[in-house]
Copies of this chain bind each other. A is one copy, B any other.
């Protein structure tokens, strides 16, 4: 029988937020396996290295059976074929996300018609949460409790404030 259920949740995760974790938990209830895949894009500057981002993702998804953390540096659909995954998971938060997400989903569909993008809605408390805003708040000495797990906040503080 053809296995249906390998899904990939791609993203920068710089760093992972409670909104991402919420999406991962929803995805794993729907699909057999969820690969959280860090995008490795040498042209885009990130605060954390790919290794650090994967390490943080592993720490916060520990105990979620079926979730694995990985990374990729090629076309998402090529990576998925290699992994025999056929489902892309995306969290849809706001209208401003919507069109960019559709553009990506349509492009991926053209490149690989068998791959389906599935949009999930994070809990409303995370609707307007983003990695950028989390970094900005920490940079200005604010508390990001409720936005990221405690251990991620600790890492953000170490990275941003103790130079």
Q: Which residues of B contact A120 (CB under 8 A)?
A: 116-119
Question: Can you pick out 28 interface pairs between chain A and chain B where the beta carbons lie within 8 Å of each other?
Answer: A4-B29, A4-B30, A4-B32, A29-B86, A75-B137, A75-B140, A77-B142, A78-B140, A92-B92, A92-B98, A92-B119, A94-B102, A95-B98, A96-B96, A96-B100, A98-B98, A99-B128, A103-B133, A105-B121, A106-B121, A111-B137, A111-B143, A117-B121, A118-B118, A118-B119, A124-B124, A124-B127, A125-B125
Quote the shortest CB–CB distance from A154 to chain B (angstroms). Answer: 18
Give CA–CA (A19, B107) in the complex, Å.
14
Give per-residue flags for A1-16: 1 if the beta carbon is below 8 A from chain B beta carbons, else 0.
0001100000000000
Q: Is A146 an interface position by the 8 A CB rule?
A: yes
**How many monomers of this protein are in the complex?**
6
B96-A29 in contact (CB<8A): no
Q: Is A74 an interface position by the 8 A CB rule?
A: yes
Known: A87-B30, A110-B146, A111-B143. A103 touches B78 (CB 8 A): no
Give per-residue flags for A124-159: 1 if the beta carbon is below 8 A from chain B beta carbons, else 0.
110111100100010011110011000000000000
